[in-house]
């Protein structure tokens, strides 16, 4: 659990130091998640997505053209990260 808290803190700090601050909410769950690249468990539906990212390179003044949605969940042993990438 201590390693998980350190990882979440690291992710929060690294996101906060980016040019445009972005918050990712990480929800605690009690149900098991099957790691199969399919986000079909009920917990994923309740997780709050982080989206509307801004482009970093070559310029940081526009929203990213290929938007990504990130959801994070954790339990007593694992941190689960689900991403949906919209490629044009």
- Residues whose CB is less than 8 angstroms from the CB of residue 59 and which lie 6 or more positions away in sequence, other chains included: none
β-bridge pairing 79-85 and 68-74: antiparallel
Hey, where are the domains in the chain? Answer: 2-85
Predicted local confidence at residue 88, as pLDDT:
61
- Per-residue pLDDT tens over the stretch 72-84: 999 999 999 999 8
Residues lower than pLDDT 70 in the chain? 1-22, 88
Cα gap 31→34, rounded to integer Å: 10
């Amino acid at each position: 659990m201590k390693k998980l808290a350190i990882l979440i803190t690291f992710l929060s700090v690294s996101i906060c130091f980016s040019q445009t601050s972005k918050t990712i909410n990480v929800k605690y769950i009690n149900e098991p998640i099957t790691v199969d690249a399919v986000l079909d468990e009920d917990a994923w539906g309740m997780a709050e997505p982080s989206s509307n990212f801004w482009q970093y390179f070559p310029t940081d003044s526009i929203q990213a053209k290929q938007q990504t949605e990130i959801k994070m969940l954790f339990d007593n042993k694992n941190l689960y990260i689900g991403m949906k990438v919209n490629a044009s």
